[in-house]
Structure 1
């Protein structure tokens, strides 16, 4: 999904290691940001990282799906 500038809907932004396709983990927990500004969150996650190795994935949170 492409990164959106701002949205009224909440999004999940994850930092993904391109080498493995897995989410970056801190103490075993995937690094996940919840935001209404996914472009800003993605830029923050990617700051100082090699874009050849890392990507930010954005997923809209569907309010109809229980979490």
Structure 2
């Protein structure tokens, strides 16, 4: 069990995680292209294999995002 845990920890520590936060409204094609290009860039700059790179896209509504104390939905 100890060997398995060590191997799993090593694998998880070597996986780059990328979180992209953006306002909702991009098409599925745009998000797909973004994930592909970010994955390629992270692989190129970090040396990590593309199949180990995890990309999260977090979409926010304009009601949940504010700049200077004003929600974007109120502008």
What is the TM-score normalised by the length of structure 2? 0.32
What is the TM-score normalised by the length of structure 1? 0.34
Structure of larger gyration radius: 2
Which is richer in strand? Answer: 1
Higher relative contact order (CA 8 A, sep 6+): 1
